[in-house]
Structure 1
Amino acid sequence: MAINAKELPLGKVFTPDFRFFVPSFQRAYIWQPDNILQLVDDLAGAAKTPGTPYFLGSLILVRAGGNRFDVIDGQQRLVSLSIIIAALRDLERDPEWMRLLDALIVEPGDKLRGIRNEPRLTLRERDAAFFREYVQEGNLEALFDLGEEDWASAAQRNITRNTRRVYDELSRMSDDERRTFASYLVNEVTLVIVTTDDLDGAHRIFDVMNMRGLPLTPSDVFKARATSGLGPAELDAYAERWDDVMDPLGDDSPATEEFFSYLHLILTHKPDTDKLIEEFLADVMQPHLDAGTMPAFIDQVLAPYAMAWLVLSRPADTVLPEDVRARLESLNDYRNHEWRPVAMWALVHSFRNLGAPDVSPFASRGARASRAAVTAKTLGMHDAQRLNEVLAALERVTGVDTLNRAAPYRRRGHAAAAIRDLDKGYPVRMVRGLSILPDDRAGALVRLHGEMQGDDDLIRLLLVRANEQLAETHLSRPRKLSALPIMPVSFDAKSPFAASGWTQDAHDYWMYRLGNMALAQGNADQLDRLDDYERRRDRMLLRADSRRFPLTDALKHFNECTPEMLRHRHEETVRLIADYWEIRYDENHTDLTRQDPEELGRAAAVRPQRSSKRVTIGQVVAAGLLIPGEKLVWERPCKGERWFATVTEEGRFRLDDGSEYSSPTAAAKAAAGGRSAGGLDVWRRTSDNRRLSDIWKEYRQQSG
């Protein structure tokens, strides 16, 4: 068995030297939006320090002849990287940059040399054509026009959702920022390529790399250094003490690495730690080793901050005051963790006995509990008011940063600045990292008024905040909580909902705004087949766990869903969230929630952003890119099939049989007898033979 391993930058991996194939026995693409967004965040942060490579792990490949390799380990990263590059290419306006990005995921081909145009990565047979057509070949507009009924597998759903979220995330960067990001991705993101000639050998390599010889964690390295300077009398005691402190944090290496990274930030006020082990040893441990104070470091620094980390992970299980537990539970609603170092600092500086060997902040359970029950007083709690002020301000700035999609380096900068000022004893209102600037406040309000398509977690979080503000208390959440649209998702001109006076434009305007969303217990698909308001409302109000949310319960007072009703709900929801985060008024006590969002955005220089939201036919007609009455054609010469559609004044496509459809994909599916088809990619305008996907992309570029 010949084994070869070499480290290569991504620009040397996505080349003609490698054609990657995912074997049929491999699992499907399973990464979720949180996984790929974390990768984008990590890479965006790393790109801020060019010259520092970012190691993305290893690929295990079996050579299948020539430049063809079967992927045994690394499929999720390869697919995700392809999605990121495809989004960068679609957002790019410069033809040369587009060509270079395209060549990373599709071999350009050369007719003279007989080289075919081929994708660099081919997925399992079930998903290969879908991934190639929509992502690799650059048909993102057609991808964004697909609905859930158009996905043939969970992998296709994941590909679509992840592409949408990455597109939205990258669209928030400027052109220069995206090009810097792309250049870093190609030149400084590296992979170790491990190749072998037989499948059994590849599986043995995979087993060795993933199951045996686990690498030392940062905690292992730091423990060895901490105990290296201790005398025989202290060595055993503090080696055991270190284990007692760190073992409850678990053996998940990324989690412990994050803990030490945040501890480094707390102690040094440095927001970035690209070389954690090297910098923690030099900045934190070496001074204690030089001074002979390592036991004090373990007892007075490591132990309390490790306990604070555990408290943040399970606040509901602690004996901390109810209001503190509620604030920590609210902070845990956020998928980003840059708030944690400030919360850790606040807990350690509010409980004198946090981390003491014989005191636990967790409630004792069962008759055999090993530690006596304790209270906040036993923990040495002091200055409860300041603790609550810090946590409230921290949740507020975390919420605004989340809504504004603040970059990871900026969020870490806020944490470092906050701890720096807190260490100086500043009042909370004067702590820079916990303050919200006017432009950030305005940007948050603009986004609250806008569309929220594609970010279910953010919608749910915002609705929880609005409901808690209205209820004036922290609300416990059912095990499964979804944010559901009040209106039917699809609009049918012949449905009872349309007969009540709704138009396609009004439906499209409100569909993805907060006013059309309500919290309910259950899965997100529970209303999919209900196409009228009354049945949707009654299903949402069926369970008491849904009715505990006052904005949901208020639906019982409305027998009809009207644009006026949604407008009222929307304005109330925005005001409640603004009050919760204290961003409703400016320095002159002007109520910003009553100002026009567009004017507010212009005043705050909020940059318009392209998004992956489905572009409607009506929007393209209103922009003058399609003209009512003009004809479209979809031809399949090999099968002798041809279909025509006409653009209507109402922003729909009318087929020759008189049926009308609100999206190109729906019209194509109906024309083809129910077979799924990417409508934007198949319809062409008869006057100039231009594909609708190109017209839709032109609209998105103009609107962004």
Structure 2
Amino acid sequence: MGINAKELPLGDVFTPDYILSIPSFQRAYIWRPENILQLVNDLLEACKTPETPYFLGSLILVREGGPRYEVIDGQQRLVSLSIIIAALRDLERDPEWMTLLDHLIVDPGDKLRGIANEPRLTLRERDAAFFREYVQEGNLEALFDLTDEDWTTAAQRNITRNTKRVYDELSALGEEERRAFASYMVKMVTLVIVTTDDLDGAHRIFDVMNMRGLPLTASDVFKARATSALKPAEMDMYAARWDDIMDPLGDDPQSTEEFFATLHMILTHKHSTDKLIEEFLADVLQPRIDAGDVPAFIETVLAPYAAAWQVIAHATDTVLPDEVKFRLEALNDYRNHEWKAVAMWVLVHSYRNLGSPDVSPFASRAGRAARANATAKTLGGHDMQRLNEVLAALERVTGIDTLNRVSAFTRRGHMTAAIRDLDKGYPTNLVRGLAVKADDRTGALVRLHGEMQGDDELIRLLLIRANEQAAGAHLARPRRLSALAIMPLDIDHTASFANWTQDDHDHWMYRLGNMALAQGAPDQLDRITEYEKRRDRILVRVDSRRFPLTDGLKDFNECTPAMLKHRQEETIRLIADYWQIRYDENHTDLTGKGNEALAEAAAKPTHGSRRVTIRQVVKAGLLIPGEKLVWERPRKGERWYATVTETGKFRLDDGSEHASPTAAAKAAAGGKASGGLDVWKRTSDGVKLSEIWKKYRQQVG
């Protein structure tokens, strides 16, 4: 394979010597505004030293014949440079300058010789007409008038947004500045043009020579490898089909990689590693290429699983039954995504036409051509009972694994085992990986009884599950939904909690019984200390009162330990019923057992990251009542002191007492402090409270 290379200024590239096209197997245009603006700013900075060249990397081209070349590497820069030139042309008022700029991106042709004008760069077929009409032919005003509904691909969206941002950036320059910038681009911006005549080697160059543009996504590499084995006519057709399948997933490389890693696990029952591309090529694609059934892979594997990925991400927009949509929405509540593999498997095996080019699972897309009458029936649904059983079991095991803080490795093991058994045709109740063991069940109940400090996302999720179980139905959620504490962090000097002991307050502060769902920000109660005002603020919005456990606050005029105990027991019972972990094999109601009894039966330690209180540390003898603590800020010339009290509080020099190190720090610094454990030190030895707290945690296991 002969390769030639030479360095040329941009003005010698955008000429009749190079008629460039993007082959169908190439990725789409994926640069975002931040990428193209970085290029513009780099070039503007370089333009300040007009005699210094600016090297823009290499273009990898495969000769088609004469001056025509396919672009193997460099599409992102070429399209972006065309956009910049189009914006300069549109901002120009001098006809001669406009013509010169126009000829950089469109060959004017020669009417006398019967040569038609054509663009210097032609994009993939799906985006070529759009790019030519709006950018290369200078219809920027029409481009700026387009809306989301007018884009049929992600590349068209990127072209539109990038052109707008470049136009805005360059319009801020003066006329002479823009002309100097244009001249610099033509004369001093250089590229190394690497060309080859070996079309058979194009895909190898594509795999290894991505020099300056954004890194190839997994989809780019897999498409190139899969279609390289096809005949030219098939290559174009299936490359376009691949794009049709993958475009809706977006162009985020991380998301694309997650999709293919999940697909790899589904097809091979193997855990993914950091060598996804090599493993997917070897385990999945190469056997298909060797067998000559790449088209079948694209249609019967890639298409349905990509559609399932989209269904999972946008479940509420689909025509699937409500129960399926609600279960998928519940699964999307989790921060971990191992469950997606099983969800994709069961969706693909429950809808025969999922991924078909003629049937869409999305109601919102049902206005075009053959997709006009998209319904759950046209998707070819079957065995809906199994679909709902698998999704319910999947959400159950995912929730319990999350609650028990199971490692990612173990979660992946559960999902791999589940898919292996599902592939064998096992009924849901016999599928390993979807079963909850007795120890897992007990551990989850212990966690529900305990403190939840520091995990607001998990608290919110658990409260949603409890409230929906209480309502017996799926509950629509407001756009912003927070889990709020019914009690304030500090109950000193509050009439509502005058009868509370500090021990009772510390016990209930971070438990589920003290939490309620409410519309709005998580800090909306920060300045409210009295119970009735906090309750009324929680209940002020209708969207908050739709949650039964929240609405139940209206029936309590006082916040008492008994009231929070009642809420705690009710919440745990509801969650246990939702996940079907309330009863053991002997039909004993485990929610009726005390936390200590459950903890004794649990196979795992239960202290975890539970909050440690000043009182606990004092009782353990690690802090002594009367000891003096200091917080110093040498740079600001500030110093505060606190004294440890018999009742397990910190007393400041002004006489105020506080139940936590952070509360004491905030009070000392006028509310502008956090992380009290890291700022207070013992004056006797300079040891930080964080070290003392760590020692206590080690002692109690």
How far the C-alpha of 1:600 sits from its partner, in A, is 1.9
One-letter code of the match for 1:228?
S
The reply on whether 1:659 has 2:686 as its aligned counterpart is: no
Report the counterpart of residue 323 of structure 2 in structure 1: 323
Check whether the contact 1:632–1:683 (CA below 8 A) recurs between aligned residues: no
How far the C-alpha of 1:310 sits from its partner, in A, is 0.6
Q: 1:682 to 1:286 in 2, by over 3 A?
A: closer
Deviations 1:528-562 (Å, cap 9, x if unpaired)?
Answer: 11101111111111111111100000111100000
Structure 1 distance, partners of 2:571, 2:225, is 53
Q: 1:547 to 1:684 in 2, by over 3 A?
A: closer
Mapping of residues 150-299 of structure 1, within 5 Å: 213-299=213-299
Mapping of residues 442-453 of structure 1, within 5 Å: 442-453=442-453
Report the counterpart of residue 363 of structure 2 in structure 1: 363
Deviations 1:238-269 (Å, cap 9, x if unpaired)?
Answer: 11111111111111111111111111111111
Report the counterpart of residue 628 of structure 2 in structure 1: 632
Report the counterpart of residue 567 of structure 1 in structure 2: 565
The correspondence for 1:576, drawn from 560, 574, 577, is 574
Report the counterpart of residue 78 of structure 1 in structure 2: none
Q: 1:523 to 1:657 in 2, by over 3 A?
A: closer
Once the two structures are overlaid, the 10-residue window that deviates more, 660-669 or 536-545, is: 660-669
One-letter code of the match for 2:333?
D
Report the counterpart of residue 554 of structure 1 in structure 2: 552
Report the counterpart of residue 116 of structure 2 in structure 1: none
Deviations 1:404-448 (Å, cap 9, x if unpaired)?
Answer: 111111111111110100010101000001101111111111111
Structure 2 distance, partners of 1:275, 1:383, is 36
Q: 1:635 to 1:330 in 2, by over 3 A?
A: closer
One-letter code of the match for 1:392?
A
Deviations 1:156-193 (Å, cap 9, x if unpaired)?
Answer: xxxxxxxxxxxxxxxxxxxxxxxxxxxxxxxxxxxxxx
Structure 1 distance, partners of 2:674, 2:552, is 40
Q: 1:553 to 1:648 in 2, by over 3 A?
A: same
Q: What is the TM-score of this pair, normalised by structure 1?
A: 0.66
Report the counterpart of residue 600 of structure 2 in structure 1: 602
Structure 2 distance, partners of 1:575, 1:417, is 30
How far the C-alpha of 1:217 sits from its partner, in A, is 1.1
Check whether the contact 1:488–1:530 (CA below 8 A) recurs between aligned residues: yes
Q: 1:373 to 1:503 in 2, by over 3 A?
A: same
Mapping of residues 382-421 of structure 1, within 5 Å: 382-421=382-421
One-letter code of the match for 2:543?
D
RMSD: 2.7
Check whether the contact 2:351–2:382 (CA below 8 A) recurs between aligned residues: yes
Deviations 1:291-346 (Å, cap 9, x if unpaired)?
Answer: 11111111111111111111011011111111111111111111111111100000
> In the comparison of the two structures, how many residue pairs are matched?
493
How far the C-alpha of 1:664 sits from its partner, in A, is 3.8
Structure 1 distance, partners of 2:596, 2:676, is 32
One-letter code of the match for 1:421?
D
How far the C-alpha of 1:476 sits from its partner, in A, is 1.0
Q: 1:686 to 1:391 in 2, by over 3 A?
A: closer
How far the C-alpha of 1:641 sits from its partner, in A, is 9.0
How far the C-alpha of 1:586 sits from its partner, in A, is 1.2
Report the counterpart of residue 309 of structure 2 in structure 1: 309
Q: 1:495 to 1:224 in 2, by over 3 A?
A: same
Check whether the contact 1:482–1:524 (CA below 8 A) recurs between aligned residues: yes
Structure 2 distance, partners of 1:361, 1:635, is 60
Q: 1:336 to 1:633 in 2, by over 3 A?
A: closer
One-letter code of the match for 2:579?
W
Structure 1 distance, partners of 2:566, 2:690, is 36
How far the C-alpha of 1:636 sits from its partner, in A, is 7.0
The correspondence for 2:619, drawn from 616, 619, 622, is 622
Structure 1 distance, partners of 2:229, 2:670, is 77
Q: 1:328 to 1:666 in 2, by over 3 A?
A: closer
One-letter code of the match for 2:301?
V
Gapped runs of 5+ residues in structure 2?
1-188, 190-209
Q: 1:624 to 1:634 in 2, by over 3 A?
A: same
Check whether the contact 1:316–1:325 (CA below 8 A) recurs between aligned residues: yes
Structure 1 distance, partners of 2:672, 2:377, is 67
Structure 1 distance, partners of 2:467, 2:672, is 42
Structure 2 distance, partners of 1:560, 1:428, is 47
3-state SS of 1:518 partner: strand
Structure 2 distance, partners of 1:673, 1:418, is 54
How far the C-alpha of 1:475 sits from its partner, in A, is 0.9
Mapping of residues 504-519 of structure 1, within 5 Å: 504-519=502-517
Check whether the contact 2:446–2:606 (CA below 8 A) recurs between aligned residues: no
Structure 1 distance, partners of 2:422, 2:341, is 12
Once the two structures are overlaid, the 10-residue window that deviates more, 420-429 or 409-418, is: 409-418
The correspondence for 1:697, drawn from 689, 694, 698, is 694
How far the C-alpha of 1:647 sits from its partner, in A, is 3.1
Deviations 1:350-391 (Å, cap 9, x if unpaired)?
Answer: 000111111111114586676212211111000110100000
Q: 1:510 to 1:356 in 2, by over 3 A?
A: same
Structure 1 distance, partners of 2:211, 2:231, is 36
How far the C-alpha of 1:637 sits from its partner, in A, is 12
Structure 2 distance, partners of 1:379, 1:643, is 68
3-state SS of 1:519 partner: strand
Q: 1:275 to 1:658 in 2, by over 3 A?
A: closer
3-state SS of 1:433 partner: coil
Structure 2 distance, partners of 1:403, 1:600, is 15
3-state SS of 2:238 partner: helix
Structure 1 distance, partners of 2:683, 2:217, is 63
Q: What is the TM-score of this pair, normalised by structure 2?
A: 0.66
Q: 1:228 to 1:681 in 2, by over 3 A?
A: closer
The reply on whether 1:353 has 2:353 as its aligned counterpart is: yes
Q: 1:233 to 1:533 in 2, by over 3 A?
A: same
Report the counterpart of residue 56 of structure 2 in structure 1: none
3-state SS of 1:654 partner: strand
Q: 1:702 to 1:252 in 2, by over 3 A?
A: same
3-state SS of 2:363 partner: coil
How far the C-alpha of 1:498 sits from its partner, in A, is 2.9
Check whether the contact 2:400–2:441 (CA below 8 A) recurs between aligned residues: yes
3-state SS of 2:651 partner: strand
One-letter code of the match for 1:621?
V
3-state SS of 1:650 partner: coil
Check whether the contact 1:364–1:371 (CA below 8 A) recurs between aligned residues: no
3-state SS of 1:434 partner: coil
How far the C-alpha of 1:236 sits from its partner, in A, is 1.9
- Percent same amino acid among aligned pairs? 72
The reply on whether 1:344 has 2:344 as its aligned counterpart is: yes
Structure 1 distance, partners of 2:605, 2:631, is 40
Q: 1:366 to 1:299 in 2, by over 3 A?
A: closer
One-letter code of the match for 1:660?
E
Gapped runs of 5+ residues in structure 1?
1-203, 205-209
Check whether the contact 1:271–1:415 (CA below 8 A) recurs between aligned residues: no
Structure 2 distance, partners of 1:605, 1:635, is 41
Structure 1 distance, partners of 2:540, 2:686, is 52
Mapping of residues 43-58 of structure 1, within 5 Å: none
